[in-house]
Amino acid sequence: MPTPADPLASVRIVLVATSHPGNIGAAARAMLTMGLRRMVLVDPRRFPDAEAVALASGAADVLDRAQVVGTLDDALSGCAYTVGLSARPREFAGRVHAVRQAAHEAVAHTAFGDVAFVFGTEMSGLSNDELAKCSAIATIPANPGYASLNLAAAVQVAAYELRLAAGDGDVWRAPRFEPATFDEIEALYAHGTRTLADMRFLDPQMPRRLLPRLRRLFARAGVEKEEASILRGILARIDQVLERER
């Protein structure tokens, strides 16, 4: 089965027994920045709450639509794949994915229905019983001496990986300015070589490493049409000065 057109619409972010409403709000903001909109709250201590709305910033809509349920089973009902986040995966005998891999698996499973990423309490995370209900356990690679990601920070990283797994990793853009053509670039090098030789900066019989280095520099930059024209202008000016000298 193919994955849906927007796999992120099939992702539930499940927060279990969150203590601080501010964290729920910050998690909503983190979700929406990555295009996730479906929050499920299992037995939150305080919700709805003004602090959640304050921290949600522009993402109050995610809070308004959040589903509040009594048990983790209710939150995961109907899911084709569920991922429990844990900072202490060494305690478990099962296989543990890095969150990047888990995000890819989750997006692949959207072909079969909803998927869920499950986050435990601020103090102690998910219990072993809660993790045992999940299809997979995922961890966010972290400093072993201080792996204490804030709840919303963990949601941010997971949501970011879900967005990339769903295909938005590519920030390539069409050039905004017209690039110089092959011929313009070759004409630039030919002119430059001539001028450098006239300046006696370059011995045309022994160009050595200079020209290849210049080529490499400009190739990395990707010369635009207007820039090629500016460089030709500079060379022409040098030519005039050299001409006057003679």
The least distance separating a second copy from the CB of residue 215, rounded to whole angstroms, comes to: 18
CA distance 75 to 40: 6
Q: Does 64 sit near a second copy (CB under 8 A)?
A: no
Site string for a second copy, 166-195 (x = CB under 8 A): --xxxx-x-xxx------------------
Site string for a second copy, 204-223 (x = CB under 8 A): ------------------x-
Residue corresponding to tokens 């959040």: 66
Among 124, 143, 205, 240, interactor with a second copy by CB under 8 A: 143
Among 50, 54, 132, 142, interactor with a second copy by CB under 8 A: 142
The least distance separating a second copy from the CB of residue 17, rounded to whole angstroms, comes to: 20
Q: Does 69 sit near a second copy (CB under 8 A)?
A: no
CA-based torsion, 9, 68, 103, 157: positive or negative:
positive
The least distance separating a second copy from the CB of residue 161, rounded to whole angstroms, comes to: 9
CA distance 15 to 44: 8
CA distance 234 to 212: 20
Q: Does 225 sit near a second copy (CB under 8 A)?
A: no
Among 10, 18, 139, 195, interactor with a second copy by CB under 8 A: 139
In this chain, which stretch among 54-62, 125-133, 189-197, 206-214 interacts with a second copy, using CB under 8 A?
Answer: 54-62
CA distance 161 to 104: 8
Residue corresponding to tokens 């000298």: 245
Q: What type of residue is 211?
A: L
CA distance 94 to 136: 8
CA distance 59 to 53: 8
Q: Does 147 sit near a second copy (CB under 8 A)?
A: yes
Scored b (16 or more CB within 10 A) or e, 166-196 reads beeeeeeeeeeeeebeeebbeebeebbbebb
In this chain, which stretch among 64-72, 108-116, 161-169, 199-207 interacts with a second copy, using CB under 8 A?
Answer: 161-169
Which residues would be at the binding site for a second copy (CB under 8 A)?
A: 26, 29-30, 32-35, 57-59, 89-90, 93, 95-98, 100, 139-143, 145-150, 152-153, 156-157, 160, 163-164, 168-171, 173, 175-177, 222, 224
